[in-house]
Amino acid sequence: MSKKPLTPSELTELIAGLNRLARNLWWTWNQESQEIFQELSPRGWQNLYHNAVAILHEVSDYELRVHLQNPDFAERVQRVLANFDAYLSEKNTWGKANAAELLKNPVIYFTAEFGFHETLPIAAGGLGILAGDHAKSASDLGLGFVGISLFYREGYFQQSINQDNWQVDYYTQLQPKNLPIEPVLDKNGEPLICSVQMGISEVKFKAWRVNVGRCPAYLLDTNLPENEQHYRDLTLRVYGGDSTTRILQEILLGIGGVRLMRALGVEPSVFHMNEGHAAFLALELVREKLALGKSFSDALTFAKKQCMFTTHTPVEAGHDRFSASLMDYAFKGYLGHLKMSLDEVMALGRVDPKDKDEPFCMTVLALKAARSANGVSELHGQVSRHMWQCLWPGVPEDKIPIGHVTNGIHLLGWMKGPVRRFWRRRLGVNGTTPPATPGTVGASTDFWSKTSSWETAINDPAFWQKMEDPNFISDEEIWALRYKLRRELIEFARRRLLLQGRSLTQGDFIAFDHLLNPDALTIGFARRFATYKRAPLIFQQLESIVKLVNDKQRPVQFVFAGKAHPRDDDGKRYIQQVIHLSRYSDLKGHLVFIENYDIHVARTMVSGCDVWLNNPRRPLEASGTSGQKAGCHGCLNLSILDGWWREGYDGTNGFAIGDDSHPASIDEQDRLDSENLFSTLTGKVIPTFYDRDANGIPRKWIQMIRRAMVTLVPQFNTWRMVQEYTTKYYVPK
Ligand SMILES: *Cc1c(COP(=O)(O)O)cnc(C)c1O
């Protein structure tokens, strides 16, 4: 049956639809949408780094129409748009059934960084990635949810490496017109302008809206001609500048965020502070009540009824502290409105309100101003209760009111394309909606009959439970998928290294196809190069590691990536060490460092590696999330029992380094962890990976992959996490 070409008005409608789609991040976790943008311009897809908005700018109107004149392509676009609209208008959601009150009075989620997608690089690390994943799952669940952050027009820094293997930071300007953001307008169609007091100035700001599926996120931006330059530059960079920049950014986020909600007429029920950066929002809530003539204690009680707080790190430097003189400078104008003295404000951020030498701590303010608080894993909950016991004198440690919700990841957003297609075929679906007549797809039919959508299905433990069944999916299929993903990573790494240009210079030439081996056990490590994460730990036993990589029968290889904060020279030294080893030691060709770690690099690595290495100095990794991204791709974790892995590991689903205990000293800990890492690697990981049957299939290894899928994937995702936040904290029953 031949299909009819579209009429001009149908064409115009589809083009408008594609533009709408490109400006809603939903497309980033919808396979068919991605394929459409990729097909529109395969080269643009590569060169513009998967930026749908930019691709639509690049492809001419004429070219777009020609594509859409192809009835098959047009039909796919129509189907995607229908799925998109169905998603947006879905009434029958988990949120409606379980937290309907939030649809009217949403949760406002404040975060200093949001990691949504590689084209909007306004996150520095795991905290921002988690915030982005939280928002995506809030959307999938149909929750009343609004995100607040800042629009950093130079984003987080880009990383390159110089001749001395030293990290060089550089910045590029983000172009709003090429981003999935749109200006927030007032009722006259002009940019909506609000203001906050900073020092003695009134600083104006505007906002950008990001559509995260059904939920909006607003990014505040002081880059307005009416502001002095240093205020315009407040929103230049993620965690840029000094402590003055930091405090002013936090005033903008917390106080500005509340004001934007008021200006938009949003009536929040909960203010969720994702980390202490946002805690000044509580001052604004207090100010509002004081302005209505309430007493300070009533105002604070009122603020406290609406705020909740998630703390994310036991690392000291992760808790912002400001001196009294900086607070005085930053709040000079605001204090007049607040009708409080500096001392009274300082008291809110001090463990001991009377200690005049104690700086103002954002975490202390958040804990004092929130009705509930939580850490991000069970162990981190314990550690936080211990850390902040000082705020509840006389209360036993286990009664300190800090709970925990273990972090997760947004599964669909992290799944690499081939894996999404793989699971979709398993589920017997082509589009986002289930087949109309179940009954043809074997094991998946019963499944579809009780779930309503692909989002629900892929997050359902019942689906992952099937991975234990070799009739549902065979070892051979899993192993073939692993090969495909490893190969993709290796080719990606080779391309990147070629671009990085260093493997081809200075006599350290490595023939392109000798860089990494598609058959070798591939171990990945990528995250911020904060020193507590101990990136080079594994290379402490260099000679032994060299033997392992050169073992012809059972080779091992390493892929590393990660950025150190621009002011963290120790972190940069770790990077230097790893790169030096990759170029000048006998690890050459078996160890690569991929520059400019970001979401795309992360996705490629967690999917392509066989083993995901994580060796933080316990208990400093509050949760960690990168290892959670590994599970659905069949990559196994090899990790210290810290954060989420302490809860996830069950002896069958990956590998533990050491045990559930704390050594006496840091030196002792580093030594023990390094030994345990090496012995687990050589005693368990390598033998299991290379234990092959006559067909070359590692049955035991694949059994572990199955166990990881059954036990980890349905648990450590934001579908579960956001539900837990909702029932425990947003709308406790
Ligand atoms: C997941 C992710 C992180 C967090 O990794 P951890 O191992 O939890 O520290 C950081 N950066 C990027 C780009 C990520 O994708």
Mean pLDDT (whole number) for 8-24: 96
**Residue 731 domain flag:** no
- Report the SS3 class of residue 374: strand
Query: Does 607 contact ligand 1 (Cβ within 6 A)?
Result: no
Nearest to 340 by CA among 387, 385, 294: 294
Same domain, 592 and 490: yes
Position 3 in a domain? no
Q: Could you tell me if residue 729 is inside a domain? A: no
Can you tell me whether residue 272 is helix, strand or coil? strand
- Residue 576 sits in the same domain as residue 654: yes
Three-class secondary structure of residue 347 per DSSP: helix
Q: Which two tokens stand for residue 574?
A: 């770790």
Q: Is 126 in the pocket of ligand 1 (CB under 6 A)?
A: yes
pLDDT at position 250:
98
Write down the pLDDT at residue 317. 85
Dist. CA 394–CA 373, nearest whole Å: 19
What mean pLDDT is predicted for residues 236-265?
A: 97
Q: What is the DSSP letter of 633?
A: G
pLDDT of residue 511: 59
Q: Is there a domain that residue 95 lies in?
A: no
pLDDT in tens, 271-299: 999 999 999 999 999 999 999 999 999 99
Let me know: does 612 contact 640? Beta carbons within 8 Å. Answer: no
Q: Is 248 part of any domain?
A: yes
Does 310 fall in a domain? Answer: yes
Q: DSSP assignment of 434-468, as one string?
A: PPSS-SSSGGGHHHHHH--SHHHHHT-HHHHHGGG
pLDDT of residue 502: 57
Residue 437 has pLDDT above 50, yes or no: no
Question: Ligand 1 centroid to 4 CA: how many Å?
Answer: 47
User: Per-residue pLDDT for 2 more than 80?
Assistant: no
Predicted TM-score of the model (pTM) = 0.96
> Percent of the chain beyond pLDDT 70?
95
Q: How confident is the model at residue 145 (pLDDT cuts 50, 70, 90)?
A: very high
Rounded to 10 degrees, the C-alpha dihedral 703/378/364/665 comes to -80
695: left (phi over 0), alpha (psi -120 to 50) or beta: alpha
Protein residue closest via CA to atom 11 of ligand 1: 125
> How far does residue 600's CA lie from ligand 1's centre (Å)?
11
| Tens of pLDDT, residues 608-628 | 999 999 999 999 999 999 999
Angstrom distance (rounded) from CA 402 to CA 382: 8
Mean pLDDT score, 703-707:
98
> 298 lies in a domain?
yes
The mean-pLDDT minimum among 252-261, 440-449, 540-549, 559-568 falls in: 440-449
CA separation for the pair 152, 237 (Å, rounded): 5
If 0-12 CB within 10 Å is exposed, 13-18 middle and 19+ buried, where does residue 443 land?
middle
Structure tokens at 709: 């899928």
Q: Give me 99's structure tokens.
A: 């937290």
Q: Please give the distance, rounded to the nearest whole angstrom, from the Cα atom of residue 126 to the centre of ligand 1.
A: 4
Q: Residue 403 forms beta bridges with which residues?
A: 374
Predicted confidence at residue 518, as pLDDT, reads 96
Nearest CA owner, ligand 1 atom 1: 626
pLDDT at 451: 47
Which residues lie below 8 Å from residue 719, measured CB to CB, with a gap of 6+?
Answer: 137, 140, 141, 408, 410, 411, 455, 459
Q: How many CA atoms lie within 13 A of 193 on its CB side?
A: 12
Q: Which two tokens stand for residue 45?
A: 């897809």
Mean pLDDT of 14-26: 97
Read off the pLDDT band of 439 (50, 70, 90). very low
Q: Measured from the CB, is residue 275 less than 6 Å from ligand 1?
A: no
3 state SS of 537: helix
Domain range for 630: 475-716
The rounded Å distance from CA 28 to ligand 1 centre is 18
Tell me: do 665 and 582 sit in the same domain.
yes
DSSP 321: E
Statement to judge: residues 55 and 112 lie in one domain: no
The domain boundary, picked from 453, 471, 489, lies at 471
CA-closest candidate to residue 45, choices 666, 600, 696: 600
Q: How far is CA 26 from CA 21, 133, 411, 565, 594, in A?
A: 8, 12, 13, 30, 28
Largest CA distance in the chain: 82
Whether 376 is in the pocket of ligand 1, judged by its Cβ within 6 Å, is no
Q: Which of 213, 192, 195 is nearest to 204 (CA)?
A: 195
Considering 356, 377, 404, which residue would you say is the last residue of a domain? 404
Those residues with Cβ within 8 angstroms of residue 546's Cβ, 6 or more apart along the chain or in another chain: 585, 586, 587
- Average pLDDT of 507-523? 79
**Residue 432's pLDDT is what?**
43
Instruction: Locate the ligand 1 atom nearest the alpha carbon of residue 614 and give its number.
Output: 7
231 and 326 in one domain?
A: yes
Distance CA 265, CA 274 (A): 22
Structure tokens at 576: 């230097």
Instruction: Name the strand (E) or helix (H) holding 170.
Output: strand 167-170
Q: Are 494 and 425 members of one domain?
A: no
Residue of 113, 129, 603, 639 to mutate, ligand 1, most atoms within 8 A of C-beta: 129
Checking if the pLDDT of 411 tops 50, the result is yes
| Model pLDDT, residue 457 | 84
One domain for residues 49 and 143: no
Most confident region among 88-92, 306-310, 452-456 by mean pLDDT: 306-310
The tally of domains found in the chain comes to 4
Which of 75, 83, 51, 98 minimizes the C-alpha distance to 726?
A: 98
**Confidence grade of residue 510 (pLDDT, cut at 50, 70, 90):** low
Question: Would you place residue 435 in the very low, low, confident or very high pLDDT band (cuts 50, 70, 90)?
Answer: very low
Residue 274 phi/psi, 5° resolution? -90, 95
| pLDDT band (50, 70, 90) for residue 513 | low
Q: Is the CB of 623 under 6 A from ligand 1?
A: no
Measured from the Cα of 624, ligand 1's closest atom is 8
Q: Is 615 in the pocket of ligand 1 (CB under 6 A)?
A: no
The answer to whether 703 and 691 have CB atoms below 8 angstroms apart is no
Q: Which residue has the higher pLDDT, 436 or 580?
A: 580
Whether 269 shows a pLDDT value over 70: the answer reads yes
125 lines ligand 1 (CB under 6 A): yes
User: What does DSSP say about strands 121-122 and 114-115: parallel, antiparallel, or unpaired?
Assistant: antiparallel
Q: At what angle do helices 417-427 and 31-40 cross, to 10 degrees?
A: 130
**H helix runs in 430-568, sequence order:** 445-450, 454-458, 461-465, 475-500, 542-549
Number of H helices, E strands in the chain: 32, 22
From the CB of residue 537, how many other CB atoms can be counted at a distance below 10 Å? Answer: 21
**Does the beta carbon of 598 lie inside 6 Å of ligand 1?**
yes
- What's the CA gap between 404 and 204, in Å, rounded? 37
Ligand 1 near 129 CB (within 6 A): yes
- 591 plus 675 within the same structural domain: yes
> Cα Rg for the chain, rounded, in angstroms?
26
Ligand 1 nearest-atom number relative to CA 627: 7
Q: Is the peptide bond before 536 cis (omega within 30 degrees of 0)?
A: no
Can you tell me the distance from the alpha carbon of 546 to that of 591, in angstroms, rounded to the nearest whole number?
10
Residue located nearest, by CA, to atom 8 of ligand 1: 624
CA dist 75 to 79, 375, 417, Å?
A: 6, 47, 21
Q: State residue 210 phi and psi, 5-degree precision.
A: -110, 130
With respect to residue 98, please indicate whether it lies within any of the assigned structural domains. Answer: no
Q: Is the per-residue pLDDT at 512 higher than 80?
A: no
pLDDT (mean) for 242-260: 98
CA distance 184 to 220: 10
- Mean pLDDT for 330-347 is 93
d(CA 667, CA 128): 31
As given in the structure block, the two tokens for residue 24 are 């809603």
Residue 450, classified by CB atoms within 10 Å of its CB into exposed (0-12), middle (13-18) or buried (19+), is: exposed
Going by pLDDT thresholds of 50, 70 and 90, the confidence category of residue 428 is: low
CB of 527 closer than 6 angstroms to any ligand 1 atom? yes
If asked whether residues 479 and 454 sit together in one domain, one would say: no
Q: What is the CATH number of the domain that holds 165?
A: 3.40.50.2000
630: Cβ below 6 Å to ligand 1? no
| Span 49-101, pLDDT tens digits | 999 999 999 999 999 999 999 999 999 999 999 999 999 999 999 999 999 99
Residue 327 pLDDT level (bands cut at 50, 70, 90):
very high
Whether 625 is in the pocket of ligand 1, judged by its Cβ within 6 Å, is: yes
Q: Same domain for 512 and 383? A: no
Query: Is 90 exceeded by the pLDDT of residue 718?
Result: yes
For residue 133, the CA-to-ligand 1 centroid distance in Å is 12
Name the residue at shortest CA distance from atom 5 of ligand 1: 626
- Which residues lie across from 215 on neighbouring strands? 212
The last residue of a domain, from among 404, 433, 450: 404
pLDDT at 728 over 60: yes
Using CB atoms within 10 A of its CB, is residue 437 exposed (0-12), middle (13-18) or buried (19+)? exposed
Residues 458 and 521 in one domain: no
- Model pLDDT for residues 370-388, shown as the tens digit of each residue: 999 999 999 999 999 999 9
Residues 241/247/249/253 CA torsion (nearest 10 deg):
160
Average pLDDT, the chain: 93
Q: In this structure, are 428 and 484 located in the same domain?
A: no
CA 46 to the chain's CA centroid: 22
Cα–Cα distance list, 732 to 101, 140, 308, 377, 728 (Å): 12, 20, 12, 20, 5
